Structure 1
Amino acid sequence: MLQLNPILTSPDASSAKSVVMAVGGAEDKVHGRQILTTFCQRSGGLDATIGVIPSASREPDAMGRLYHDIFMEIGVKAVEVLLVSDRSHGENPDLLERLERCSGVFMSGGDQLRLSSLLDETPLLEKLRHQVWQGQSVLAGTSAGAAVMGERMIASGGSNEPPNRSLVDMSTGLGFLPDVIVDQHFHNRNRLARLISAISAYPEKLGVGIDEDTCALFEADGHLKVLGRGAVTIVDPRDVSYTSYPHVDLTDPVSIYNLRVHILSDGDCYNLLTHRALHKTV
């Protein structure tokens, strides 16, 4: 018999607030489950109904079952696995009705291009956006599920090179966080140069690189809070005075002056309105 996690409680004011959680992948699924438990708590705790969208995975049925069991073990009220393996499924009235019951929605890892192509411009995505932006559902995504959060997303890219125009391939994301570009498995796979390359192409965006077993938690009040074992890297191009990006060949290194970078760890915050990093309280 499944046991309720004693960390979970009934919903309160803090758990009812709108929030988006972008997870860098490889989150702890076995031991402390800090990030997944926080997601369940913010989604309503013991009263939460969690929707799982495993569409990014090559094995969505198995991925759906995995997270179904994890969230039930954590102690939520119910889990709905929302299988979307064809764009037509995004119009299914039964699926839309099941989504409406979800106080939290979790998008699994896999291939972000697959996930975006299945969900983009579907009624399911429009309904999910409405629920998230209205504070009716908490949204979390891990790995590919985090990469799709921005209006522009990193589809693929390389590493072990200086920033350059060919280092990153960009595509259209799902737009939950329109002003940011998210990258994941960040320091684990040496992805700073590709995030800088992406920000060089879209200097009006803020770069957010998230390590494995680490979460960038975006609050409705404009604060980003870091949760987990790794770091979140903020790449802020607001004060860039010069970049050679428009003028160099595809594989030439890009010059960029006065780029601001913050490295934040568990408990640190970043004010997305004032662009100031805030030290965690000890």
Structure 2
Amino acid sequence: MPLLSRRLLLGTVVCTALPLHLAAQTLTQNAKKSGHLVIIGGAEDRQQDRIILRKFLELSGGPTAKIRFITAASGVPDAVWASYQAVFRDLGALDCEVVPMLTREDASKPNVISQIANADGIFITGGDQTRLMACLWESPAFQALHRAFFVNGACVAGTSAGAAVMSRHMLAQGTPTAAPQKDTVSTDIGLGFVANAIVDQHFSQRHRLSRLLSAIAQRPDLLGVGIDEDTALIIEPNQSIEIAGKGSVTLVDPRRARTNREAIEDGDKLEMLGLQLHVLPAGRRYVLPPLTKARKPSSPFGDALEQLAKPGPMRG
């Protein structure tokens, strides 16, 4: 697949830090009412507490849920699957399988489509997000993913490259720089579950703030979301946002900012004035008030959370 592009809340945002057992119980009860997104910054704990992977299993419906893994982003898919298979067996998952999809031809096979469409939880592993989208883009498997999430209420998780593809406008490539620069990153089209943001991962560990700023300078209508390793951004569309794991999620809102992007050359340093930056630590949950036609955001932060929680349109 060629690259397709190269170049909360009228009212108050409610922030609660629920006890883990109550939060897990509540989220499990609501899992089948709407799909959830579990967007992981990579390097999630698979050996000790495994907070994020346990949360994904709970949101998918618990031990009896049909859990399916998509490993098409990886250059070593068999090894990646073996690792996750052992972890989820240890967590008590009874129906956990890998989807046999590594090529674009595989993405049209009936058994692949059926496995995805009927899953309760779908986990997209790391690797290369461009490789993954070359396999999936506008394929029957892509459409099955959307049906699983939007129609059946499946929980869709992605780690590292699997996190990058969650947004419609996907960060494809770009080496972090000391300061944000014009057009030093390239973007492409992702799965589109998150409509109004660009997602970056391994965020603090790989010093990617400048890279994210360079990306949103190209699209100042979109939020920038940077997710630390062993950290997950959990979105219940139009309902709530929760941060799980060990790190933080950095949310950058450029929509009221001014830049000099149009006046400088490629590679020049960007001036970015009026950016809003929010840091959301693990253990916090942000609940949006009920949707009403008259509702207006109570604050710029509330507006940013509402935009982040708004899903993209269903495709297929």
Same fold (TM over 0.5): yes
Matching residue's letter, 1:51: R
User: What one-letter code is carried by the residue in structure 2 that aligns with 1:262?
Assistant: H
Residue identity over aligned pairs, in percent, reads 37
1:134 to partner: Cα distance: 2.5
2:168 pairs with 1:151? yes
2:207 partner amino acid: N
Instruction: Tell me how far apart the structure 2 counterparts of residues 76 and 21 of structure 1 sit (CA, whole Å).
Output: 17
Q: What corresponds to 1:3 in structure 2?
A: none
Residues 230-267 of structure 1, C-alpha deviations (whole Å, 9 max, x = no match): 11000111221x21112211111111111000111012
Question: 1:18: how far off?
Answer: 1.6
Q: Match for 1:123 among 133, 136, 140?
A: 140
Is the 8 Å Cα contact of residues 72 and 131 (structure 2) preserved in structure 1? yes
Work out the CA distance in 2 between the residues paired with 1:133 and 1:207.
24
| Counterparts of 1:40 and 1:150, CA distance in 2 | 22
What's the CA shift for 1:20? 0.4
Runs of 4+ in 1 over 6 A off after TM superposition: 6-9
SS in 2 for 1:55: coil
The answer for the alignment partner of 2:104 in structure 1 is 87
Which of 236, 246, 253 matches 2:262? 246
Q: Give the 5 Å matches for 1:256-271.
A: 256-269=272-285
CA contact (8 A) 1:156 1:169 kept: yes
Question: Secondary structure in 2 aligned to 1:254?
Answer: coil
Taking the aligned partners of 1:128 and 1:34, their CA distance within structure 2 comes to: 24
- After superposition, residues 136-215 of structure 1 pair within 5 angstroms as 136-215=153-232
Cα distance in 1 for residues equivalent to 2:255 and 2:180: 18
Give SS of 1:233's match.
strand
Distance, in Å, in 2 between the alignment partners of 1:69 and 1:26 is 16
Name whichever of 73-82 and 268-277 sits farther off: 268-277
Aligned counterparts of 2:239 and 2:256: Cα–Cα separation in 1: 20
Q: Aligned to 2:301, which of 260, 276, 279?
A: 276
* Contact 2:248 2:282 survives alignment (8 Å): yes
Name whichever of 63-72 and 148-157 sits farther off.
Answer: 63-72
Name the CA distance, whole Å, in 2 between partners of 1:100 and 1:254: 44
Q: Determine if contact 1:24/1:185 at 8 Å carries over to the other structure.
A: yes
TM-score (norm 2): 0.81
TM, length-normalised to structure 1: 0.90
Aligned to 2:106, the other structure's residue is in SS state helix
Q: Using the alignment, how far apart are the partners of 1:167 and 1:114 within structure 2? A: 20
SS in structure 1 opposite 2:262? Answer: coil
Q: Is the Cα–Cα contact under 8 Å of residues 19 and 135 in structure 1 kept in the other structure?
A: no
Q: Which runs of no fewer than 5 residues in structure 2 stay unpaired? A: 1-20, 289-295, 306-316
Does structure 1 conserve the Cα–Cα contact (< 8 Å) formed by 2:103 and 2:135?
A: yes
User: Of residues 2, 10, 14 in structure 1, which corresponds to 2:30?
Assistant: 14
Q: Secondary structure at the match of 1:65?
A: helix
Alpha carbon RMSD of aligned pairs, Å?
Answer: 2.3
- 1:160 and 1:119 map into 2 onto residues whose CA distance is 30
Give the whole-Å Cα distance in 1 for the aligned partners of 2:207 and 2:263: 26
Which residue of structure 1 lines up, in the alignment, with residue 293 of structure 2?
Answer: none
CA contact (8 A) 1:52 1:68 kept: no
Task: Give the drift of 1:29.
Answer: 0.4
Letter in 2 for 1:255: E
Hey, what's the Cα distance between the residues in 1 that align with 2:285 and 2:217?
A: 24
